[in-house]
Amino acid sequence: MTPNAASASSGPSRRSFLASSAVATAAVAGGMPLLAACGGSDSGSRDGTTSSKDAKKILPAYVASNVVTPDIPAKNGSAIGFTSKLDLATLKTSVEKKLGKGGKVTVMSPFWGSPPKSGNAYYKAMNDLIGVDVQWQNQDGNTYEQKLGAVLASSDVPDVVVVPGWNMNGK
């Protein structure tokens, strides 16, 4: 045992007690103005809230799709259905022109199955139609939650990150 070492059974010294008391006093005294700044005023202002009247002005109204006529119409919130193949010649164009301007967007999403090979014809056709080079970062759907946490904690976050509802458990 070192002669100058304090024994494990001894309590705090007078010096350490006074030092910790001084630090606690300074923290409380210095923190009060900061805490006062967090308090609200009684002006009746409701910053950060939107009335239902204002929300109706900024939120889009629901408009049912009329791109295709279904064999089985939607009922009570269900999806439309089809009993036969669609005639492509009768389909309406939902977006008249390319909205993209040739930029690049990275998207991370869960994926089950073998990932598509580089130069996938479907992805290439979709990119050509929308005018954007979408770079998919498909991740194993079974381990997506772990990958999602690591990616969001890093400084290399894709432009679009799919966060499924089952990953919203508040960990």
Predicted confidence band of residue 63 (pLDDT cuts 50, 70, 90): confident
Taking the domains of the chain in order of start, what are their residue ranges? 53-167
Please give the pLDDT value at position 69: 84
Beta bridge partners of 138: 109
Q: Are 126 and 72 in contact (CB under 8 A)?
A: no
Please give the pLDDT value at position 14: 65
CA atoms lying within 13 Å on the CB side of residue 84: 4
* Other Cβ atoms within 10 Å of 141 Cβ, number: 14
User: Which residues are CB-neighbours of 94 under 8 A, at least 6 positions away?
Assistant: 65, 67
Cα torsion for 79, 64, 86, 113, to the nearest 10°? -50
Please give the pLDDT value at position 123: 92
Q: The whole model's pTM is what? A: 0.48
Retrieve residue 138's tokens.
């498909």
Span 28-44, pLDDT tens digits? 555 555 455 555 555 55
Span 91-148, pLDDT tens digits? 777 778 888 898 999 999 999 988 888 789 999 999 999 999 999 999 998 888 888 8
